[in-house]
Chains A and B, each alone.
Chain A
Amino acid sequence: MALTSQHARAATVAAVAGLIALPYAGVADFYLSYLYVVFFWIALATSWGILSGYSGYWSFGHAAFFGAGAYTTATLAGRWGVPFLLTIPAAAGIAAALALGIGWVVFRINTLRAEFFALLTLSVTYVLAAVISNTPIDGGGGVYLSNVAIPQLGTTVPGAIYLLGLALAFTALAVSRRILRSRLGAGLLAIHDDEDVAEVKGVPTLHYKLVAFAISSAIAGAAGAIQAAYVGYVTVGETFSITVPLYVVLMSILGGARHWAGPAIGAALITVALSLFVGGGHAELGRAGVALALVVVILVLPEGIAPSLLGRFARRRNSAPVAAPTPATASEPGNVVVMKLPAVHAAAGRPLLTCRAVAKSFGGIRALQGVDLQVEEGEILALVGPNGSGKSTLINMISGHFPLSSGSIELHGASIDGLAPHEVARRGIARTYQIPRLFNHLTVLENVRLCAFFGGAPDAAGESPDALALRWLAFTGLEAKAHVLPPALNLHERKFVELARALAARPRLLLLDEVLCGLTPTEVDHAIAMIRKIRAGGTTIVFVEHLMRAVVALADRIAVLDQGTLLALGLPRETMQDPRVVGAYLGAAHAA
């Protein structure tokens, strides 16, 4: 396998060298310009994919940043005589600043949905067009760059532009690839699948979206700068037309928006197809064709071409390095692994989590009314109660989903109420969901690895996130499923991936929300054994459960909630035989 990646690298270097050599080899300007157009769209589509493809926030406003870049160059070089090459980074910078400004306003609207973002960004394009059109920047007549000196770099002007386009396309691809393999990329992909869960697992979602937006726009801005020099005459109508957003969206969908090379493949295909089938004067026909293709592709091929092609290639590469999977299915907690969680102070009996007078109201409904609860370090505490008693609400507040109406929650003495969910995750609290919410486009291993990336305190042993992820998969008996996608798993397996994800974040406190719900009796026994092992490793566990015999078997203490108040707290048998508890469950007549 190492051979293949070396081969790929060598091939890439050779190809790039070859492409750079073309202008100096005397290739005709016509071909160079043709290739430039291909590079141009590759750069533009790839840059679009960095935010929109990875995170799922589809922007219809890519033209705004492209146009900002084009007009930066038009103004700086065309009007003020700034050397052309210097205007390129300036264009990128201005476009990025614009993106940051828009993102700062828009991404913080927490009811923002994908459709709104798309249409908002489309609106931005029109607004920018209007502003530019009505100010001296353009003034309505367009800007000529005919007197701008394009450095020829030892070849002709088209040759120089070709080289710049090549450089930009290469940069875009390299950046996109780098991002996909970094924490930023993992975070963006997680945001795509389930932003709320990503936030809870520690991904700084706002920060990442802004960064991706800025990078994406910077590249688009640079593309605008180069394009301005290429066409020599910049107008508002041409620059801010619907062409750019339409084309990049189709190119990315066709090629596959989740892969770093997908948009580029789509760009190359569409550009070549358009040039073959559409003559020079029939731009509208080209647009119509692209639009039709968009409609057909969305309806019939929502995931694009690249995933299936590249997926086959990637799977072959990936299957080798992983340790030989055990033939057993996820039916046994791995006995072979020694779990080494970060050194937890053996001071048992010290309160880890303290809830004081915690209350929560939703509108007029009082879900929690002054709950006082202390969770001791190293214990397994069960949280039970009839439907509507407030159990899930309490869990949601501890993990940071909802702010408190009043009261306080402290972890090891430090207040955590009011913190954003990803901050709470950083402090060492992990939770699972009753209905597993996995990142459906990431493999099991990638799901767990992400949580290892963004989880609590860094592991003292300096283990790589990959190794950590594999370790937890082995613990939950799921190594055989490491490269499977979640939709292919059954409920039992998905619940255990949830568990592995929570553990990979190396939490001090694990919140389990009805983890046994829906499991067969055998699966329930396995889960109970696993939970005992987790506690043996030093993690404190609070779990919400309805299956009473499991609760009584597993819990050190039971807390009973009823109608938002803590009804009883104590050892299992005593608590469940407490007349008040019996009354709450079975009705007053039984309690006696």
Chain B
Amino acid sequence: MGLTLLAQSAIGGLLLGGIYGLLALGLSLSWGLLRLVNLSHFALAFLGAYLTYQLGTQFGIAPWLSALVVVPAFFVAGMALHALFVRFQVSEFASMLVTFGITILIESLIQWLWSADYRRFESGYAQASLRIGPLFVPVLELAAFACAALLAVAAWAGLNRTLLGKALRAAAHDGPIAAAFGINATRLSYLLAGLCAASAGIAGVFIALTSTLAPSQIEAWIGVVFAVVIIGGLARPLGALAAGCLIGISESVTMAAVNPAWAPLVAFSILIVLLLWRPRWL
């Protein structure tokens, strides 16, 4: 296989990895800091994608404008879901089951509103790409990657450089002692839940721009992003991005070198190998 092809697939994989990392970000932070496994994150992202698609095709609203509506709405939705968890004192495991159910509910909603047909959001930029030597870098995917990297860095900075972020981490590490120093973990957790849901909205906008939409796609992403979250480490924004890129590149190269259809195996295999080699990673 030629070097150009290899490099081209690596680029494609890297950019795809950005979206993986973006999706993984919200899930990773929620799981690591709130002890809630929010599987509905995927469905929410896809809902955001479909909304972007609808606003774009029916009303001609540009995606970045749609984002201004979708993202804050999702922020509120995230807090509402969190209120449910707090009210019913849901355990970590139960949160997974509940969000599993919610995922399917959202998927059914999407199917009811938009049917199971494949949808493609035709934005003007779909064909545009940058030329770097012999390689093509699609503009939309590049924008998605840039946004993902930006958010990952912002999340990292927020958690490690602001007092608020440190307070959040402290509360996740030792709730009672953090409270003894005045840190109100519940209030902070609402904020984080809202932010995670908002990130799902952002991911959704980019998914609409770069992928074909179908309700069945939701499930396809669960396996991969789950692997990205674990490999990247819980509550590690930069790790999620790196893991996303790793998996993205591995998948693309496998697709080009071996067979496109083996891609789902890649993420899973990497995960299993990692868990066998370093069981402490969990």
Q: Which residues on A are within 8 Å of B, measured CB to CB?
A: 58, 60, 105, 109-116, 118-120, 122-124, 126-127, 129-131, 133-134, 237, 241-242, 246, 249, 253, 284-285, 287-288, 290-295, 298-300, 302
Contact B111 A284 (CB under 8 A): yes
Contact A123 B227 (CB under 8 A): yes
Contact A295 B219 (CB under 8 A): no
When each residue 92-132 of chain B gets 1 if its CB lies under 8 Å from chain A and 0 otherwise, what string results? 11101110111111001101100000000000000000000
Contacts of B60 in A (CB 8 A): none
Contact B108 A287 (CB under 8 A): yes
Contact B282 A246 (CB under 8 A): no
In Å, the complex CA distance between A123 and B226 comes to: 8
In Å, the complex CA distance between A438 and B156 comes to: 42
**A450: min CB distance to chain B, Å:** 24
Mostly, the B contact residues are: helix
Task: Specify which of A115, A123, A246 is in contact with B268 (CB 8 Å cutoff).
Answer: A123
Q: With contacts A127-B268, A130-B261, A249-B97 known, is A119 near B280, CB below 8 A?
A: no
Task: Specify which of B98, B263, B264 is in contact with A295 (CB 8 Å cutoff).
Answer: B98
Is B216 in the interface zone, CB < 8 Å from A? yes
In Å, the complex CA distance between A58 and B94 comes to: 11
Is B37 in the interface zone, CB < 8 Å from A? yes
Closest to A237 in B: B216
Contact B37 A115 (CB under 8 A): yes
Is B279 in the interface zone, CB < 8 Å from A? yes
Contact A302 B102 (CB under 8 A): no
Contacts of A249 in B (CB 8 A): 97, 100
Closest to A133 in B: B261
Contact B222 A284 (CB under 8 A): no
Contacting A at CB under 8 A, from B241-282, are 259, 261-265, 267-268, 271-272, 275-276, 279-280, 282
Contact A127 B104 (CB under 8 A): no
Task: Specify which of B101, B105, B223 is in contact with A126 (CB 8 Å cutoff).
Answer: B223
Contact B100 A109 (CB under 8 A): no
User: Could you jot down 20 A-B contacts, CB within 8 Å?
Assistant: A105-B276, A109-B276, A113-B282, A115-B37, A115-B92, A116-B282, A119-B37, A119-B226, A124-B268, A130-B261, A241-B219, A246-B100, A249-B97, A284-B108, A284-B112, A288-B108, A288-B109, A291-B102, A292-B101, A298-B101
In Å, the complex CA distance between A292 and B101 comes to: 6
Is B220 in the interface zone, CB < 8 Å from A? yes
Task: Specify which of B226, B227, B282 is in contact with A111 (CB 8 Å cutoff).
Answer: B282
Interface size class, chain B: 35 or more
In Å, the complex CA distance between A249 and B96 comes to: 12
In Å, the complex CA distance between A237 and B94 comes to: 27
In Å, the complex CA distance between A131 and B111 comes to: 27
In Å, the complex CA distance between A122 and B96 comes to: 12
Is B157 in the interface zone, CB < 8 Å from A? no
**A233: min CB distance to chain B, Å:** 18
Contact B37 A288 (CB under 8 A): no
Contact A295 B223 (CB under 8 A): no
Is B90 in the interface zone, CB < 8 Å from A? yes
Q: Give 3 closest A-B pairs by Cβ, nearest first.
A: A288-B108, A291-B104, A134-B261
Closest to A243 in B: B104
In Å, the complex CA distance between A294 and B84 comes to: 15
Q: With contacts A284-B108, A295-B105, A298-B98 known, is A127 near B37, CB below 8 A?
A: no
**A424: min CB distance to chain B, Å:** 22
Is B181 in the interface zone, CB < 8 Å from A? no
Contact B272 A105 (CB under 8 A): yes
In Å, the complex CA distance between A300 and B261 comes to: 42
Q: With contacts A105-B276, A109-B282, A246-B104 known, is A130 near B216, CB below 8 A?
A: no
Contacts of B264 in A (CB 8 A): 126-127, 129-130
In Å, the complex CA distance between A242 and B217 comes to: 12
**B190: min CB distance to chain A, Å:** 18
Closest to A302 in B: B94
Closest to A123 in B: B223
**A120: min CB distance to chain B, Å:** 8
Contacts of B268 in A (CB 8 A): 123-124, 126-127
Contacts of A133 in B (CB 8 A): 261
In Å, the complex CA distance between A288 and B105 comes to: 5
| Max count, chain A CB within 10 A of own CB: residue among B84, B264, B267, B279 | B264
Contact A291 B105 (CB under 8 A): yes
Closest to A299 in B: B88
Contact B98 A299 (CB under 8 A): yes
Contact B282 A242 (CB under 8 A): no
Task: Specify which of B100, B105, B265 is in contact with A130 (CB 8 Å cutoff).
Answer: B265
In Å, the complex CA distance between A300 and B104 comes to: 19
Contact B88 A111 (CB under 8 A): no
| Max count, chain B CB within 10 A of own CB: residue among A237, A295, A298 | A298
Contacts of B109 in A (CB 8 A): 288
Closest to A102 in B: B272
In Å, the complex CA distance between A112 and B93 comes to: 13
**B255: min CB distance to chain A, Å:** 11
Closest to B35 in A: A115
Q: With contacts A105-B272, A134-B261, A285-B108 known, is A127 near B102, CB below 8 A?
A: no
In Å, the complex CA distance between A292 and B100 comes to: 10
